[in-house]
């Protein structure tokens, strides 16, 4: 089964929530944990237990594991392996992007079955050219994995590149979206090449002529709920593509730890909240 089909089934079963796994120093301290690699294992285990069967996917942020060196990477390897065992989909937030054999190396690291850091999907950066990511797309297609491409991020600096006009007259973000749509053509219920689109980018989608409803793939979106975006913002940004939106939430959920029961309550509440907001956005658009 393709990643797109597996993710669509998980979203149908558990709602459109992806829980970020971001063990940064401040959050570890809030949990009463020291800033050590062993704390990453404790942190990851708690989030995994709280999230299994309560959300569509988890998204470990590679940077917070890598900062602890080999022991931190080992903690990430353990988290990804345990998630596979319990059937919880993973999006490894690594934002890799390069050319040739280097991109192939990144693809092998995260998308090849049996790799130590094997994930169900990975985030990538297209700013060496969308075509440079071909090794990741090819390996993902071969092994039923997914790829999420940065398209319209909510940080202010992103507009310098994403809103720029490419030689063919399209905005760079529109080129990324159209390229993803081509790879997802004909896939059902949705393709395995997703985009990262912030829920707080305002009218950028319309201004840049981006057709998200043609992408036919998952749209990973931070910024919903406590981070500022509600029904009106989702309607504005995603339009008729709202059914493909996978909402990422990190701090708003993770601050409920370290007690697993409290953390699970927060995951369940967040899943219900984002489902409600997406439904309200449909009403908002009709209105």
Render 15-66 in DSSP notation, one character per residue: -SEEEEE---HHHHHHTT--SSHHHHHHHHHHHHHHHTTTSSEEEEBHHHHH
> pLDDT of 1-27, one tens digit each?
999 999 999 999 999 999 999 999 999
Q: Please say if 95 is a catalytic residue.
A: yes
Confidence of residue 286 (pLDDT cuts 50, 70, 90): very low
> pLDDT of 36-51, one tens digit each?
999 999 999 999 999 9
Could you say which of 95, 145, 262, 286 is catalytic? 95
Pick the CATH number of 3-286 from 3.20.20.70, 1.20.58.110, 3.30.1490.270, 3.10.20.740: 3.20.20.70
Strand 245-249, strand 17-21: pairing: parallel
Domain regions of the chain by residue span? 3-286
Confidence of residue 227 (pLDDT cuts 50, 70, 90): low
């Amino acid at each position: 089964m393709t990643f797109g089909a597996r993710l669509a089934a998980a979203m149908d079963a558990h709602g459109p929530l992806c829980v970020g796994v971001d063990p940064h120093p401040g959050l570890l301290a809030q949990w009463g944990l020291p800033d050590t690699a062993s704390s990453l294992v404790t942190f990851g285990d708690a989030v995994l237990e709280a999230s299994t069967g309560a959300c569509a996917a988890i998204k470990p942020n590679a940077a917070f594991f890598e900062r602890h060196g080999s022991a931190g990477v080992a903690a990430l390897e353990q988290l990804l392996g345990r998630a596979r065992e319990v059937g919880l989909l993973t999006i490894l937030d690594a934002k890799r992007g390069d050319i040739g054999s280097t991109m192939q190396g990144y693809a092998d690291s995260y998308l090849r079955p049996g790799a130590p850091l094997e994930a169900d999907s990975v985030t990538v950066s297209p700013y060496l050219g969308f075509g440079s990511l071909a090794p990741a797309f090819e390996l993902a297609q071969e092994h039923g994995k997914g790829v999420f491409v940065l398209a319209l991020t909510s940080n202010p600096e992103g507009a310098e590149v994403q809103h720029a006009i490419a030689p063919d007259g399209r905005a760079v973000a529109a080129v990324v979206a159209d390229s993803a749509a081509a790879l997802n053509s004909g896939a059902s219920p949705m393709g395995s090449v997703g985009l990262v689109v912030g829920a707080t980018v305002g009218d950028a989608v319309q201004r840049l002529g981006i057709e998200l409803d043609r992408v036919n793939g998952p749209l990973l979106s931070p910024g919903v709920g406590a981070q500022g975006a509600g029904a009106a913002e989702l309607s504005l940004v995603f339009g008729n593509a709202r059914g493909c939106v996978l909402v990422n939430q990190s701090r708003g959920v993770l601050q409920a730890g370290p007690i697993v029961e409290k953390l699970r309550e927060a995951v369940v509440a967040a899943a219900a909240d984002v489902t409600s907001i997406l439904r309200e956005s449909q009403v908002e658009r009709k209105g």
